[in-house]
């Protein structure tokens, strides 16, 4: 069973920083962040954390099916104690809705 955490808050309330901090706090764990706007890499650069071997930031493919395939591939290699993070969850919801509308209604 995996733990799940949902971070919510106003813009600039350090949600992305909290995700990046997981790699610092849990160096024995892999941390993978799916990031649709490159905010994680900006935080990493600002803090000088580019050398964290356990942190991977992945761009989100605009094609929903390609993103889902990438998500499943990442999920399959993570073990207990690792972290899979979706930064800016609202963007993923929008992409899912857009995909559904295109798939069901063709537009």
Please choose, from the candidates 43, 73, 82, 38, the residue with its C-alpha nearest in 3D space to the C-alpha of residue 59: 38
Q: Indicate whether 95 pLDDT > 70.
A: yes
Which of the four pLDDT bands, split at 50, 70 and 90, describes residue 3? confident
pLDDT in tens, 27-43: 999 999 999 998 999 99
Task: Tell me how crowded residue 56 is: count the other CB atoms within 10 A of its CB.
Answer: 14
**Cα Rg of the chain, angstroms:** 15
**What pTM value is reported for the model?**
0.88
Q: Which pLDDT tens digit goes with each residue over 46-63?
A: 999 999 999 999 999 888
CA distance 102 to 93: 14
What integer pLDDT is reported at residue 68 of this predicted model? 93
Q: What is the mean pLDDT of the chain?
A: 92
Using the predicted structure, report yes or no on whether residue 91 has a pLDDT greater than 90: no
């Amino acid at each position: 069973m995996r733990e799940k955490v949902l971070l919510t808050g106003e813009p600039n309330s350090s949600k992305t920083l909290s995700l990046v901090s997981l790699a610092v706090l849990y160096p024995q764990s892999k941390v993978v962040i799916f990031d649709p706007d490159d905010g994680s890499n900006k935080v990493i650069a600002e803090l000088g954390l580019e050398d964290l071997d356990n942190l991977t930031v992945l761009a989100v493919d605009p094609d929903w099916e390609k993103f889902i395939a990438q998500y499943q591939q990442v999920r399959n290699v993570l073990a207990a104690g690792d972290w899979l993070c979706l930064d800016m969850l609202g963007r993923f919801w929008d992409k899912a809705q857009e995909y559904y509308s295109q798939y069901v209604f063709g537009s």
